[in-house]
Amino acid sequence: MAADEAVGFPKLGPTDIAALTARGHERGVRAGDVLFNAGDRSFCFYVVLEGSIEIVEQSHDEPRTVAVHQAGGFTGDVDMLTGRPAVVTARAGQDGRVLELSTGELRRAVDELPDLGETIVKAFLMRRELLLSQGFSVVKILGSRFSPDAHRLRDFAVRNAIPFRWIDLETDEQADTLLRQFNVPAAATPIVIGRDGHWASNPTNVEFAGCAGLSLELEEGHVYDLVVVGAGPAGLAASVYAASEGLDVLTVDALAAGGQAGTSSRIENYLGFPTGISGADLTRNATLQAQRFGPKITVPSTVRALSLDSGDRIVTLTDGSRLRTRCALVASGVQYKRLDVPGFPDFEAAGIYYAATDMEARLCKGEEVVVVGAGNSAGQAIVFLSKYARRVHVVVRGADLGASMSRYLVDRILGLDNVTVHLGSTVTGLDGDGNLSAVHATDRDGQRHTFDTTSLFLFIGADPNTDWLRGCAELDRKGFVLTGSALPPATAKGERWRTADRAPFLLETSLPGVFAAGDVRSGSVKRVASAVGEGAMAVSFVHAHIARPG
């Protein structure tokens, strides 16, 4: 803990303070002056020159001082860079002087002073971890673990790093107290309770995002250099490289940054992480890295259509917003396939899951679970869930677990005592009364197996998220986006490309200035590293397109 405190609360020396002074300005403060309040946006960064600054959080019943910055200390955590509202309040503890930098000035300092920037960013990350370890939350979510909407809200909060406290209607003693306090019937759950004490019954993701400060006000008529559709690995990589090279970037996502990779319990074959990295950590780091350079990232923003208008690309959102941009990157990824069994929709998010994150694993602790699939994502989930579940049943259609799964995962799974693999089997039925209670599977000999479980995890592939592109960009027969040399010759030599006076770039779609990267692209390698590489590569083509006259 002492080491964590040292990382989270370093003291800046005279050289660092002098470098920051050249980029900000000094001001005097009086004891009790509020420098920023919880909920404020675009709040400033402060370094204590004389006196002190107290940091206060109010997620508990009474305001609580969580840190006091003395001379050489500085304020802020990750939301200084993400653009989200402040989660704490900063006030002067004594009369003194501070150095003040705006968010833009801080970003420039972090970029121009790499050693100091590393110290500040590491401190921001550690402070948020320490705050969460103390039970800090921005909102409370109260509901039943078996409610699809309760799962939706928790998943949205986890995926978007919204600090929250989960209050289980069935098991938490505080649930009844809160329901009486707010005069809310159990039938109205799930409810979300904000830090201001206001509550909402079953809010949509858009409403939840608005309460948590995730959504951005988008400027009508503003022309971006690049709009990225999808904030998975490809979209985040493009955001990092494009913004770091001076482009005006907006990244939109329908649910959360990270895409499918963000839900992975552990990615073990990504270069540079010899012990592996969780999808959540990779997403958090990539998102913060992107926002260091200033691109705008907004969720949830679902794209409805793409079109051309007077030389610009128009990205239209489902709420009617029209985003005008010089280039667009399609990085909208894929959506999970579902089982074709009776009653399947009744149990989605009520026992059926498409990811095995820490949240789902804790829900099924000590129980039996069923995993369907034989790819690497399934393998990682099996290993992860085996640490929590009493037994993991793996249902595999094929006769060989290693046909589509990496050998190291197969060997690990076969060595787990609480994992049973059922080869040549398919799920043929589901039971339950509002909540999943049993899964039926049939093997190739016609023998039926019944697993008493409340948790079914599916890793059976995905379809591309390209419905919004139909009739606009060329797709292959499975709906993936065609690019570069894969485009039909008639398209690549059509009027649009004669007007552009060039051939399509490697990652360019049938529309000049519109690119595709990651899992959504036809012929792509479905790996995180490949998606990151394509996202970075696409930016070079964006520059090339913008640089050409006309």
Closest to 512 (Cα-Cα) out of 521, 524, 499, 530: 499
Question: Do 127 and 8 fall into the same domain?
Answer: yes
Same domain, 509 and 361: no
125 shares a domain with 11: yes
- Give the C-alpha separation, 529 to 233, whole Å: 8
Taken in order 131, 132, 133, 137, the sign of the CA dihedral is positive
Identify whether 216 is part of a domain.
Answer: no
Q: pLDDT category, 354, cuts 50, 70, 90?
A: confident
Question: Which residue, 100, 133, 166, sits at the end of a domain?
Answer: 133
Instruction: Establish if 217 belongs to a structural domain.
Output: no
State pLDDT tens for residues 164-174.
999 999 999 89
Q: What is the pLDDT of residues 11-52, one digit of tens each?
A: 999 999 999 999 999 999 999 999 999 989 889 999 999 999
359 with 306, same domain: the answer is: no
> Could you please report the per-residue DSSP string of 449-490?
EEEE-S-EEE-S-EEES-GGGTTTS-B-TTSPBP-GGGS-HH
Q: What is the DSSP string of 502-517?
A: SPPPTTB-SSTTEEE-
Strand order in the sheet with 164-168: 164-168, 139-143, 191-193, 199-201
d(CA 378, CA 477): 26
Mean pLDDT of 334-345: 89
DSSP for 393-452, please give it: EEE-SSS-GGGSS-HHHHHHHHT-TTEEEETTEEEEEEEESSSEEEEEEEETTS-EEEEE
Asked if 280 and 242 sit in the same domain, the reply is yes
Q: What is the predicted pLDDT for the residue at 257?
A: 92
Residues 180 and 287 in one domain: no
Q: Is residue 215 part of a domain?
A: no
373 plus 441 within the same structural domain: yes
What is the span of the domain harbouring residue 259?
A: 223-335+465-547
What mean pLDDT do residues 277-287 have? 89
Instruction: Over range 359-373, report the average pLDDT.
Output: 92
| pLDDT number for residue 3 | 83
pLDDT at 527: 82
- Same domain, yes or no, for 429 and 486? no
The dihedral through the CA atoms of 499, 501, 503, 505 has a sign that is negative
Do 380 and 428 lie in a common domain? yes
Instruction: Give a yes or no: residue 26 inside a domain.
Output: yes
Do residues 303 and 429 lie in contact, with contact meaning Cβ atoms separated by under 8 Å?
no
pLDDT score for 349: 66
Please report whether residue 36 resides in a domain: yes
Q: Give me the amino acid identity at 442.
A: T
CATH number of the CATH domain containing 452: 3.50.50.60
List, for residues 68-116, the tens digit of each pLDDT value: 999 999 999 998 888 889 999 999 999 999 999 999 999 999 999 999 9
Residue 215 has pLDDT above 80, yes or no: no
* Percent of the chain residues topping a pLDDT of 70: 99
C-alpha separations of 329 from 12, 60, 141, 462, 499 in Å: 40, 43, 35, 20, 21
Q: In this structure, what token pair is assigned to residue 110? A: 């972090």
In CATH, what number is assigned to the domain containing residue 161?
A: 3.40.30.10
Domain boundary among 430, 458, 486: 458
Averaged pLDDT, 313-335: 95
- Average pLDDT of 145-160? 91
Structural domain contains residue 513: yes
**More confident call, 241 vs 131:** 241
Cα 386 to Cα 12, 155, 413, 426, 428, distances in angstroms: 45, 21, 9, 21, 24
Q: How confident is the model at residue 525 (pLDDT cuts 50, 70, 90)?
A: confident
Cis peptide bond upstream of 345, omega within 30: no
472, 328: one domain:
yes
CB count in 10 Å sphere of residue 322: 14
Which residue has better confidence, 537 or 354?
A: 537
Side-by-side strand order, sheet with 64-69: 34-36, 89-92, 53-57, 64-69
Percent of the chain with pLDDT over 90: 71
- Partner residues linked to 464 by β-bridges: 334
**Radius of gyration from C-alpha coordinates of the chain:** 25
Q: Is residue 218 part of a domain?
A: no
Residue 40 lies in a domain: yes
Band of pLDDT at residue 362, cut at 50, 70 and 90: confident
| 35, containing H or E segment | strand 34-36
Going by C-alpha positions, the residue among 365, 384, 542, 538 that lies closest to residue 459 is 384
pLDDT confidence tier of residue 550, bands split at 50, 70 and 90:
low
pLDDT at 84: 87
Of 150, 182, 210, the domain-final residue? 210
pTM (predicted TM-score)? 0.83
Q: What is the mean pLDDT of residues 513-529?
A: 92
pLDDT band at 548 (very low <50, low <70, confident <90, very high): confident
Span 205-222, average pLDDT: 84
Q: How many domains does the chain contain in total?
A: 4
Taking only the tens place, the pLDDT of each residue in 371-394 is: 999 999 899 999 999 999 999 999
pLDDT (mean) for 317-346: 92
Over 90: is that where the pLDDT of 433 sits? no
Contact 163, 172 (CB under 8 A): no
Q: Are residues 144 and 164 in the same domain?
A: yes
Quick one: 429 and 359 in the same domain? yes
To the nearest whole number, what is the mean pLDDT of the chain?
Answer: 92
